[in-house]
């Protein structure tokens, strides 16, 4: 979701308060790392690490689940978390730009291909004129969804707007598609009311969809900048425990776990 003015004000207050935080991993090297995650697949992956791999590194990990895309960052800024694992670099950069927060990308873990789903049509060519299309309403995922629709010949966005496009940047819409902007978490629920919905991989999986089988089209993985990864605050970026956690998240054991658990719906990077 776009960060509303009120939320920005809250966040900036948190930034000021957070700078004085004395608890957590920043001050206690023996404390558990509190890591914020989306439930699927991030919490599953992190719990696998916590239960099976962390002990060998001497790590303690507390998994904290969130169901939206804003709280994991605000909680990280105010010191309630030591890291989070749910977002892409483009989303992080947008959040930082809109909020003024200072957060640090640590490294990538996996990719969840964005997909177009429908309960009414078998392929995109079947979409009638005036079809209703739902897309995410946060800046990063809306642009990402529109690029996917453009790549599949449904629309064209204004030249130069591809990275930040919203529905207001659509330059060509030959089928006169009607766009609905929704919270990303609501997109799977919209399928009964739309012709197609462009759904984030984690929310698709959480709703029981199988991206590799159910999506009409999926994002290409080659050259895709939208890997989900580990993020922390500046003072923890070089902390050995954060580096050890990234090493575990990028380990062959985790790659094998992702491959065996998600069967192509989530891809290790």
Tens digit of each residue's pLDDT (9 = 90 or more) over 58-89: 999 999 999 999 999 999 999 999 999 999 99
Question: What is the spatial distance between Cα 232 and Cα 224, in angstroms, rounded to a whole number?
Answer: 22
Structure tokens at 44: 């599953």
The DSSP bridge pattern shows strands 228-233 and 83-87 to be antiparallel
2-16, 119-133, 158-172: range with lowest mean pLDDT: 2-16
Beta strands 267-268 and 156-157, pairing class: unpaired
Axis crossing angle, helix 240-249 with helix 44-52, rounded to the nearest 10: 110
The token pair that represents 190 in the structure block: 């919209």
Residue 72 near residue 14 (C-beta atoms within 8 A): no
pLDDT at 203 over 70: yes
pLDDT tops 50 at residue 7: no
Our CA dihedral for 90, 93, 98, 103, rounded to 10 degrees, sits at: 140
Q: Is the pLDDT of residue 54 over 80?
A: yes
pLDDT for the residue 144: 94
The pLDDT score that the predictor gives to residue 27 is 59
pLDDT single digits (tens) 228-250: 999 999 999 999 999 999 999 99
**How much is the pLDDT for 3?**
43
What's the chain's average pLDDT? 90
Domains detected in the chain = 5-113+225-268 (3.40.190.10), 115-218 (3.40.190.10)
Distance CA 231, CA 39 (A): 17
| β-strand partners of 133 | 179, 196
Q: How far apart are CA 246 and CA 82, in angstroms?
A: 13
Identify whether the C-beta of residue 140 lies closer than 8 Å to the C-beta of residue 89.
no
Residue 30 banded pLDDT, cuts 50, 70, 90: confident
Pairing between β-strand 33-37 and β-strand 61-65 as defined by DSSP bridges? parallel
């Amino acid at each position: 979701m776009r960060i509303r003015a009120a939320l920005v004000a809250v966040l900036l207050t948190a930034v000021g308060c957070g700078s004085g935080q004395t608890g957590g991993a920043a001050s206690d090297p023996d404390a558990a790392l509190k890591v914020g995650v989306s439930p699927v697949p991030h919490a599953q992956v992190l719990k696998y690490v916590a239960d099976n791999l962390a002990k060998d590194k001497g790590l303690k990990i507390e998994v904290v689940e969130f169901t939206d895309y804003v709280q994991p960052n605000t909680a990280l800024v105010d010191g309630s978390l030591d890291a989070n694992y749910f977002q892409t670099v483009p989303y992080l950069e947008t959040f930082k730009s809109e909020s003024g927060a200072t957060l640090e990308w640590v490294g990538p873990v996996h990719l969840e291909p964005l997909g177009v789903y429908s309960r009414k049509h078998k392929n995109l060519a079947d979409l009638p004129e005036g079809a209703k299309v739902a897309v995410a309403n946060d800046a990063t995922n809306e642009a990402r969804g529109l690029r996917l629709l453009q790549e599949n010949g449904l629309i064209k966005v204004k030249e130069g707007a591809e990275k930040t496009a919203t529905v207001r940047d659509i330059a060509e819409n030959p089928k006169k598609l009607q766009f609905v902007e929704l919270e990303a978490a609501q997109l799977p629920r919209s399928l009964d009311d739309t012709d197609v919905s462009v759904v984030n991989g984690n929310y698709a999986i959480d709703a029981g969809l199988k991206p590799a089988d159910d999506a009409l089209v999926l994002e290409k993985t080659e050259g895709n900048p939208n890997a989900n990864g580990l993020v922390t605050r500046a003072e923890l970026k070089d902390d050995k425990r954060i580096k050890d956690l990234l090493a575990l998240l990028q380990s062959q054991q985790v790659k094998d776990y992702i491959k065996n658990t998600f069967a192509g719906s989530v891809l290790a990077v």
